[in-house]
Amino acid sequence: MPVVLENLGKRFGEGAPVLDDVNATIGKGEFVALLGASGCGKSTLLNIMAGLEVPTSGALEVPSDGAAFMFQDSALFPWLTARENVELALKLRGVAKSVRRAKAGELLELVHLSEAGDKRPHELSGGMRQRVALARSLAQDRQLLLMDEPFAALDAITRDLLHDELERIWKETGRTIVFVTHNVREAVRLGQRVLLLSSRPGRVVQEWNVTEEHRTDAGLAGQLTGVITARLREEIRRHAK
Amino acid sequence: MPSNSSPVAETPKVEAPLVEPVESAETDEATSSTPSENRKVHAALTRSSTGSADLRELESGLDSLQSDAVRKPGIDWSRILLPVAALVVLILVWQFYVSLGFKRRDQVPGPMDVLGQFGTLWAEGSLQEAVWTSLQRGLMGFLISVVIATPIGLLLAQVAPLRRAFGPLISGLQVLPSVAWVPAAIIWFGLTDATVYFVVFMGAIPSIINGLISGVDQIPPQYRSVGTVLGASRLQMAVQIILPAALPGYLGGLKQGWAFSWRSLMAAEIIAVGGTIGFGLGSMLNQGRDLADMTIVMSAILLILAVGILIELLVFAPVEKRLLQRRGLLAGSTR
């Protein structure tokens, strides 16, 4: 099991806990969508899994070599070209200089961007930047890939395409993916499993399995979206005064 | 496998009506809009492309739609003509003022008098000597300052206790005019090049350090997170991520550092004359004062200014422009 979370809790200073008693197990090669309203601590949970933050209670098991991470905005370095951004990830991983360029080329080809390797981030569209960022996180060559609302800032047309793209890459590379989102449709579209996180404190309150039929049958997928949305709204209503 | 308390909910079959009217409307539309062929497009909820080739084609279409057309750069003549015109206007105003005859000609010489003095100094060879001596010293002092200031700046920016301890002192040194060091330097080093360099260092180093620190302060915090996630060591973080990210601020510091070097150098040359200190522009200025020859004074002032302008135009401006352009930061600026 690449990721096991046991009674995980997190609070900042003396404030109310952001995460409380989070339990989840994520299997190797699984695609899990972590869904929740704003402020439910999904990003905090992801940061904890990435080792960027430390939990205040509970136990956590993640792969010893750490995780690759993809941010909401591409966070590409503006002084490097698309290829150099990917190459930097390889370099920091300790890949020999002689193979870096070829490897970066392969990764850009994987995200269908081999033509744009010499462009700088500001010359790329938002969707292209996120694909470069995806190639960069794949360059880290970690089994676990954590994604923090990576498509939230994209236009709908681009996002639909990137959903297909991510699914394809997930199947080709066999990565374990934890994908944080506040978009129910996105969660249903991508996850094999959708975990719903409650808000304040964040806790896994329910989970749903998404089958292969949901990928092709819009009626079925729509229905599941409806069910999850209803449950999510129930969570939100709890906070009404 | 799921260890949380809630059970895995099975997707209900057809019975329950959809909770969200919006969802159902969209689903209906998506289902009904599929044409007779089997190419289903249910954007957002299901797979919307039919395979890798289809996806590649769609993406490449979208990429070309969303990318800007490449603009072809050409020579922008207004960049050259406007400053030249401004210069000509200033010289005409100067000439006009002199021709009104408010002041004695030896106190306020006209452009032609100064030009004549330029010719004399050039023929003597002292103009070339002064420019060369000062420029060489200024550049040398500046480059050594860069080499000293850069690691100190990075260290101060990265190590909080060091910064707390020395930050105020460095800022203070920047406020202190470096001319203030000239008397001390003369006592310590006598009338030698060491005096001149010392004063240049005291002027340039603090401002380069401060520029670098403020450049580092303005780095988006996410870059560090990315560095951490990518597994950068402390040194790699500083050299591969922090330094390039801080480059615009650092370059600002370098520009200011150069300005301070040049000014400090002139101050030192004006005050410390003789010994093994050679003949620089500051010395020329001082000589003009001693001889009460305003044309020499004006020549020296204009040469000091011209060197400053040339260094800015030939060195810093192109570097800065390229740096900002590559990062997409120049759009809409008046540069």
Q: Which of A160, A205, A207 sits opposite B48 (nearest CB)?
A: A160
Range in A23-27, B197-201, B249-253 the model is least confident about = A23-27
CB atoms within 10 A of CB A49: 27
End-to-end CA distance of chain B: 61
What does the longest C-alpha to C-alpha distance in chain A come to?
62
Q: CA–CA separation, B66 vs A117, rounded Å? A: 16
pLDDT digits (tens, 9 = 90+) for A47-98: 888 888 888 888 888 887 778 888 888 888 999 998 999 999 889 888 888 8
Over range B302-323, report the average pLDDT. 90
Q: Does B64 touch chain A if contact means CB atoms closer than 8 Å? A: no
Residue B37's pLDDT band (cuts 50, 70, 90): very low
Strand A204-209, strand A57-61: pairing = unpaired
Q: CA–CA separation, B3 vs A22, rounded Å? A: 10
Range in A192-196, B47-51, B270-274 the model is least confident about = B47-51
Residue A19 pLDDT: 83
Range in A235-239, B17-21, B97-101 the model is least confident about = B17-21
Q: Is the pLDDT of residue A103 over 90?
A: no
Residue with tokens 């011209």: B306
Please tell me the distance in Å from A25's CA to the nearest CA on chain B.
Answer: 6
Q: What is the ipTM of this complex?
A: 0.81
Beta strands in chain B (DSSP E): 8-9
Overall residue count recorded for chain B in this entry: 335
Residue B93's pLDDT band (cuts 50, 70, 90): very high
Q: Does A209 touch chain B if contact means CB atoms closer than 8 Å? A: yes
Q: Is the pLDDT of residue B80 over 50?
A: yes
CB A6 within 8 A of CB A58: yes
The distance from CA B204 to its chain's CA centroid, rounded to whole angstroms, is 15
Mutation target among B49, B230, B240 for the A interface, most CBs of A within 10 A? B230
Residue with tokens 């300052």: B145
Contact A23 B3 (CB under 8 A): yes
- Greater confidence (B252 vs B57) lies with B252
At A57, is the secondary structure helix, strand, or coil?
A: strand
Q: Which of B3, B12, B63 sits opposite A125 (nearest CB)?
A: B63
Q: What are phi and psi of B301, to 5 degrees?
A: -60, -45
Give the chain A residue nearest B248 (alpha carbons). Answer: A79
Q: Does B40 touch chain A if contact means CB atoms closer than 8 Å? A: yes
Give the chain B residue nearest A158 (alpha carbons). Answer: B62
Contact B326 A120 (CB under 8 A): yes
Residue B7's pLDDT band (cuts 50, 70, 90): very low
Q: CA–CA separation, B50 vs B323, rounded Å? A: 43
Predicted TM-score (pTM) above 0.90: no
Please tell me the distance in Å from A223's CA to the nearest CA on chain B.
Answer: 6
Is the sign of the CA dihedral A36, A41, A44, A48 positive or negative?
A: negative
At A32, is the secondary structure helix, strand, or coil?
A: strand
Residue B71 pLDDT: 58
- Greater confidence (A173 vs B68) lies with A173
Residue A168 pLDDT: 85
Please tell me the distance in Å from B210's CA to the nearest CA on chain A.
Answer: 22
CB A99 within 8 A of CB B44: no
pLDDT digits (tens, 9 = 90+) for B105-123: 788 888 888 899 889 989 9
Over range A106-127, report the average pLDDT. 84
Q: Is the pLDDT of residue B324 over 50?
A: yes
The distance from CA B321 to its chain's CA centroid, rounded to whole angstroms, is 9
Q: CA–CA separation, B206 vs B169, rounded Å? A: 9
Range in A103-107, B73-77, B129-133 the model is least confident about = B73-77
User: Per residue in B47-83, is it b (16+ CB within 10 Å) or e — as a string?
Assistant: bbbeeeeebeebbeebbeeeeeeeeeeeeeeeeeeee
The distance from CA B332 to its chain's CA centroid, rounded to whole angstroms, is 17
Q: Is the pLDDT of residue B36 over 50?
A: no
CB A9 within 8 A of CB A19: yes
Residue B148 pLDDT: 94
Residue B70 pLDDT: 58
CB atoms within 10 A of CB A4: 15
Residue B272 pLDDT: 81
Range in B53-57, B67-71, B169-173, B175-179 the model is least confident about = B67-71
| Neighbouring-strand partners of residue B93 | none
Spell out which residues of chain B touch residue A219, defining contact as CB-CB under 8 Å. 27, 31
Give the chain B residue nearest A22 (alpha carbons). Answer: B4
Q: Which of A113, A124, A229 sits opposite B19 (nearest CB)?
A: A229
Q: Does B62 touch chain A if contact means CB atoms closer than 8 Å? A: yes
Mutation target among B1, B22, B23 for the A interface, most CBs of A within 10 A? B23
Instruction: Give percent of chain A with pLDDT exceeding 90.
Output: 1
Residue with tokens 């003396």: A14
DSSP structure class, residue A202 = B
Q: Does B328 touch chain A if contact means CB atoms closer than 8 Å? A: yes
Q: Does B68 touch chain A if contact means CB atoms closer than 8 Å? A: yes
By C-alpha distance, which of A29, A26, A28 is closest to A60? A26
Q: Is the pLDDT of residue B40 over 50?
A: no
Spell out which residues of chain B touch residue A61, defining contact as CB-CB under 8 Å. none
Strand A144-148, strand A68-70: pairing = parallel
Over range A162-176, report the average pLDDT. 85
